Structure 1
Amino acid sequence: MEHLKVPDLSVGTYCIPAGGVDQQSPHGEDEVYVVTAGRARIVTPDAEAEVGPGSVVFVPAGEEHRFVDVTEDLALLVVFGPAYGSRAK
């Protein structure tokens, strides 16, 4: 859910329930996730890491990424720069 959008950035929330599947595809914008609740792993072509409350993850534009093994309801604050959907994928 998007909460704020201006040309240079947008801010939203993204939630995945425990056991849920992250079905997002790469975005045309750089992205920062801040985990506010829950536990999972973030997987990219080059790395993977455990995430939990307070974790901050940067994903460059166009990079494949997915949250997997969601063991607790995952709640994320998401910041896109520039605003989500403003660049072609």
Structure 2
Amino acid sequence: MQIIEGAGAWTPPASAATDWVEHLRVPDLSVGTYCIPAGGLDDQTPHSEDEIYVVTAGRARIVTPDGTAEVGPGSVIFVPAGEEHRFTEVTEDLALLVVFGPAYGSRRTDR
């Protein structure tokens, strides 16, 4: 067992528009926190792993090829590997607990 301190907690990005911190990595999954300040831009590109977001703080809109949805604390979002997605209209500092399966970057083909 491991308690993951600070996972999902809002942390203001140091110098970039967004902030990603990985808290746990094992071969089959990784867990981290992704933060976007109010008015910030989400510049991520599609990932090669399946992904679950849990909104722990803030409000925004998620945009995918299938549509858009308003998200806020308690929202749980599944994004399959390879799907374009972006958080827009971040109206309150957004903190997301993120779970990747398998671990983030482990399926990359550009290595």
Confirm whether residue 29 of structure 1 aligns to residue 56 of structure 2: no
**What's the CA shift for 1:47?**
1.2
Confirm whether residue 76 of structure 1 aligns to residue 76 of structure 2: no
Give the TM-score normalised by the residue count of structure 2: 0.79
Sequence identity, in percent? 84
Aligned length: 89
Larger CA Rg, structure 1 vs 2: 2
Aligned structure 1 segments of 4 or more residues deviating by more than 6 angstroms: none
Confirm whether residue 39 of structure 1 aligns to residue 59 of structure 2: yes
Unaligned runs of 5+ in 1: none
Structure with more contact order per residue of length (Cα contacts < 8 Å, sep ≥ 6): 1
In 2, Cα distance between the equivalents of 1:57 and 1:4? 20
> 1:41 corresponds to which letter in structure 2?
R
Give the TM-score normalised by the residue count of structure 1: 0.98
In 2, Cα distance between the equivalents of 1:83 and 1:6? 6
In 1, Cα distance between the equivalents of 2:80 and 2:60? 20
Aligned residue for 1:65? Answer: 85
> 1:22 corresponds to which letter in structure 2?
D
In 2, Cα distance between the equivalents of 1:28 and 1:36? 24
Higher strand proportion (structure 1 or 2): 1
**What's the CA shift for 1:86?**
0.4
**What's the CA shift for 1:88?**
2.2
